[in-house]
Amino acid sequence: MELRDAIRTRRMVRSFRVDSLTRPQIDDLLGSARRAPSAGNTSAVEFLVLTGDDVGRYWDTTLPEPRRASFRWPELLDAPVLVLVATRPEAYPDRYGEPDKERTGLGEGTEAWSVPYWWVDAGMVVQNLLLLAHDAGFGALFFGIFDHDPAVREAFGIESDVALVGTVAIGHPGSGQQPGRSQSRGRRLLDEVVHHGRW
């Protein structure tokens, strides 16, 4: 698939078939996705891959039974692979405290950063992953962990210096696709978002 076609045709997928990806397929997706730009080449984005029973544990943690009946995308729970995307914020001041970056002052701590590049780096990796999954014929959804963050940490032994960015569900697209709530908003016109010369 041409890159521009992949970008234009990718959509979030919220219904999956249960059949899984192979370990080489997962490794291939993540191995390419992580080849993203990274501030100072800090490369602090990491993944926790859940398959098999661990997927069930994730949903038991974030969407316990009583709430499942009214869940809008039941076939999201069929996704055979969940990739938790994480980053290490403290790696950035560490990297920017090195001699070649010291003059930025960003080595002082995460609070010195007007734009937290750890989130930016993670976003670049996630977009790679979504596009690669689409290109390979899979579907994928990035979704938030929200207030389940502490419970997910506890369930999967995630250390406190790791910041969770969100979860990417990956699998073969299922037949029950339902648009996300935000999709009807449509895209803003190019003229509305591109400013030339002066804002």
Question: Which residues are at the interface with ligand FMN (CB under 6 A)?
Answer: 11-12, 142-144, 180, 182-183
* In the complex, least distance from residue 94 CB atom to ligand FMN, rounded to whole angstroms: 26
Nearest residue (CB) to ligand FMN, 22 versus 193? 193
Nearest residue (CB) to ligand FMN, 95 versus 134? 134
* In the complex, least distance from residue 182 CB atom to ligand FMN, rounded to whole angstroms: 4
Q: What is the CA radius of gyration of the chain?
A: 19
* Cα–Cα distance measured from residue 173 to residue 105, given in angstroms and rounded to the nearest whole number: 46
> Residue 112: what are its φ and ψ, rounded to 5°?
-80, -5
Nearest residue (CB) to ligand FMN, 106 versus 126? 126
Which residue is listed with tokens 């003059």? Answer: 103
* In the complex, least distance from residue 32 CB atom to ligand FMN, rounded to whole angstroms: 19
* Cα–Cα distance measured from residue 65 to residue 67, given in angstroms and rounded to the nearest whole number: 5
Nearest residue (CB) to ligand FMN, 101 versus 148? 148
Between the CA of residue 178 and those of 76, 125, 138, what are the distances in Å?
Answer: 10, 25, 16
Of 193, 77, 187, the residue nearest 143 (C-alpha): 77
Please say whether the beta carbons of 92 and 39 come within 8 A: yes
Cα three-residue angle 84-86-91, rounded to 5 degrees: 165
* In the complex, least distance from residue 67 CB atom to ligand FMN, rounded to whole angstroms: 15
- H-helix or E-strand spanning residue 81: strand 81-87
Nearest residue (CB) to ligand FMN, 188 versus 198? 188
* In the complex, least distance from residue 187 CB atom to ligand FMN, rounded to whole angstroms: 8
